[in-house]
Amino acid sequence: MSAGGKGAGAVLGVGALLGLVLATGSAPRLPRSAPAGAAPAAPGARAASAAPAMPTARGRPRPAAGAARAAPAVDPQGMRGLGAADRVLEISTWGRRSTTATARTYVRVGEGWRVLRSAMPAYVGANGLSLPERRVAGDSTTPIGVYGFVFGFGSRPDPGVHGLGWRRLAPTSCWSGRRSDYNRWVERSPCASADESLWPSRRVAYRYAAVIDFNYARPVYGRGSGIFLHEQIGKPTHGCVSLDQGDLLAVLRWITPSTRIVIGPYAWLRSLRSGGPRA
């Protein structure tokens, strides 16, 4: 439309509005605008029902991992390696090279399992996943497998973990990469060159965390150390599993010494139920 046409339309519009005001004594009520970017509500839409009783906590908005398509769930029923576990934290990916994952919590109910908290976006290693026997320290892969938890730790006070214990970070806190005390929390200053100094990550990643029982009971030097469940920093990890703060706190308050974390690609998780090869 030309500039002249726009001007004429504006004059007519003002005249019509003035006539309406004179006739009614008030200006017409205009509809309230929706917030920018808001989508119209779907007909009959209802709020999602809350998950069954599991501690929850409010966190920051979902990081980039939340944008990834959720990996499929695999019910823990019949999975090898769970033993007497009555709670499972499942970390599922689409494939071995995935750097994002989907976390779900399950509780044993009678002879079956019930999902409690589903579709939690997670990050895994920057180079995806690897079988534990093929993993090499520093390769930035998250180990595939079924593991327990050793203890919780962080720069903040214990958020309410049950039965695992909680260790507070200090400037001298190191995770050992030396052969003599491999894959152990140690206090020394300075940290050895092979160690991970935990203190620099105190502001976000290690505010709240838990040690995953990978290569811990009988450490194999060089296979990898310091595999944790910790808070996301907006990108894949060096081999750990990370959740957003709200999900992480809920999980930390829910796990117990008998809880198992099951990490793997969807196909591998299915093989745990079918008795197939560990692919």
CATH class of 64-68+84-273: mainly beta
Answer whether residue 58 shows pLDDT above 60. no
Strand order of the sheet with strand 209-212? 145-147, 260-265, 87-93, 100-109, 112-123, 241-243, 228-231, 209-212, 149-154, 166-168
pLDDT attached to residue 57: 37
Residue 20 confidence class, pLDDT cut points 50, 70, 90: very low
Averaged pLDDT for residues 183-195: 98
Task: Record the pTM.
Answer: 0.77
Q: Which of 270, 214, 269, 267 is nearest to 240 (CA)?
A: 214
Give the position of tokens 């703060």. Answer: 245
Contact 260, 76 (CB under 8 A): no
Q: Give residue 157's identity as a one-letter amino acid code.
A: P
Averaged pLDDT for residues 181-189: 99
pLDDT attached to residue 180: 97
pLDDT digits (tens, 9 = 90+) for 125-179: 999 999 999 999 999 999 999 999 999 999 999 999 999 999 999 999 999 999 9
Phi, psi of 272 (to 5 degrees): -65, -30
pLDDT digits (tens, 9 = 90+) for 4-16: 444 444 333 434 4
Answer whether residue 80 shows pLDDT above 60. yes
Q: What is the mean pLDDT of the chain?
A: 83
Averaged pLDDT for residues 259-272: 98
pLDDT attached to residue 192: 98
pLDDT attached to residue 68: 74
Q: Tell me, letter by letter, the H, E, C secondary structure of the chain.
A: CCHHHHHHHHHHHHHHHHHHHHHHCCCCCCCCCCCCCCCCCCCCCCCCCCCCCCCCCCCCCCCHHHHCCCCCCCCCCCCCCCCCCCEEEEEEECCCCCCEEEEEEEEEECCEEEEEEEEEEEECECCCEECHHHCCCCCCCEECEEECEEEEEECCCCCCCCCCCEEECCCCEEECCCHHHCCCEEECCCCCCCCEECHHHCCCCCCCEEEECCCCCCCCCCCCCCCEEEECCCCCECCCEEECHHHHHHHHHHCCCCCEEEEEEHHHHHHHHHCCCCC
Q: Which of 116, 62, 72, 118 is nearest to 254 (CA)?
A: 116
* Cis? peptide before 55, omega within 30° of 0: no
pLDDT attached to residue 9: 43
Answer whether residue 27 shows pLDDT above 70. no
User: Pairing state of beta strands 228-231 and 145-147?
Assistant: unpaired
pLDDT attached to residue 274: 76
pLDDT digits (tens, 9 = 90+) for 201-238: 999 999 999 999 999 999 999 999 999 999 999 999 99
Answer whether residue 191 shows pLDDT above 50. yes
pLDDT above 90: percentage of residues in the chain: 72
Residue 276 confidence class, pLDDT cut points 50, 70, 90: low
Return the C-alpha torsion angle 279, 182, 235, 127, nearest 10: -30
Answer whether residue 275 shows pLDDT above 60. yes
Residue ranges covered by each domain of the chain = 64-68+84-273
Averaged pLDDT for residues 56-73: 62
